[in-house]
Structure 1
């Protein structure tokens, strides 16, 4: 009889406490979900800002973020703890974009794959054709043999090759990427001067890309802010 009284007493005494403890646990979990989302989005923003500061143009738009907050999923552990997470990732499957991001965040030694030389376009010819960086093959595929002129290979003073176009016109004021073919009558187009020998591509055996964005520093900065982000989120759960 006494044991039953104890159980009744404990049920009445601990019941409200257990409910309160469960409420605290749910608040902590909710705050962790909110904090993981905010940290992930902040990581995305800061990574994009760092890439823009590194003069990487729109490459940062390939950076995205998500977290367990989107699914409302908390990973509870058997020992009574829990975890939530957020990630910053590259959302594109383009090998070229992924490779560029790796090169400018980790550094890279770039070597030719299909030929002996890497071909670097000069400022006199178009930098891209369509969505692709200009290469000797893209030059041919894009019809630039007729738009500007056929490419011819000649040796440079250092022994590396050059791809040149002969007898073309360029902007008289020196504007970049202005190379054009002569007219059918062999005359210059308006606003251009003749260039007998124009270097279109410079051949090099390899090149290096140094890292322009310190991802580790961005990640460290977010981690330093995470405790305050969590406390702010915990405060929101009391409303």
Structure 2
């Protein structure tokens, strides 16, 4: 008895290999896109948790949808993270929180750091000594007066002002015309509004590399799930 076995033809093998590679490429493109979205979400969530508000929304991710870079024996697909804003202020703030920075005054000798006794924002603008009068705070709280601290650094203070009796922050208000404090407040003879410093350092608060490494570590599991979809 003679038995013979004929395997698949070379053309059939090539077709099978091409189909497998195409499935793997499609799954890889989707897996990278999913991982990029997870990394972006991780950055934004971590920045919001660090008290940076919506600053993380400036960070975006863009996967090469459908783009596969093929070599003779392999292929690759990728995603990139970038900052959507072109604002120098936003870029500088991001760099400071992600990398740390030393901040020096750009105008004048002193960098004025606000205390938690005054509002952060007035008329949708960040409160600064330069905008104090323009935003009406010289009337609603009181005019700024320059004095020197014990270390020789300048302070901008408000004299004779009302503050919340329970110690609530950012509660400063001008006294009544009679000189008394408003309801729920007590009179304070001097309130420090701004502290003048020649420069200050800001430590990095977000480790973006760690966040993206966590997302990247999930890539094999994501790819496995996407490959499973190709066999259904």
- With normalisation by structure 2, the TM-score equals 0.87
- Check the 8 A contact 1:40/1:65 in 2, yes or no: yes
Identify the match of residue 75 of structure 1 among 66, 69, 81. 69
Q: CA offset at residue 125 of structure 1?
A: 0.8
Partner of 2:155, secondary structure, is strand
Q: Tell me the secondary structure at the aligned position of residue 189 of structure 1.
A: coil
1:1-239 correspondence runs (5 A): 13-69=9-65, 72-77=66-71, 79=72, 81-239=74-232
Counterpart position of 2:3:
none
User: Which stretch shifts more, 26-35 or 80-89?
Assistant: 80-89
With over 3 angstroms needed to count, the CA separation of the structure-2 counterparts of 1:96 and 1:132, relative to structure 1, is farther
Between the aligned partners of 1:21 and 1:140, the Cα distance in structure 2 is 74
Q: From the two aligned structures, give the one with the greater helix fraction.
A: 1
SS at match of 1:27: helix
121-130 or 105-114: bigger deviation:
121-130
Aligned equivalents of 1:81, 1:115: Cα separation in 2: 58
Runs (4+) off by over 6 Å: none
CA distance, structure 2, for counterparts of residue 192 and residue 219 of structure 1? 48
Once the two structures are overlaid, the 10-residue window that deviates more, 123-132 or 107-116, is 123-132
Tell me how far apart the structure 1 counterparts of residues 21 and 134 of structure 2 sit (CA, whole Å): 63
Structure 1 stretches lacking a partner, 5+ long? 1-11
Cα RMSD of the aligned pairs, angstroms, is 2.1
Consecutive unaligned residues of structure 2, counting only runs of 5 or more, are 1-7
Whole-angstrom CA distance in 2 between matches of 1:105 and 1:223: 19
TM-score normalized by structure 1? 0.84
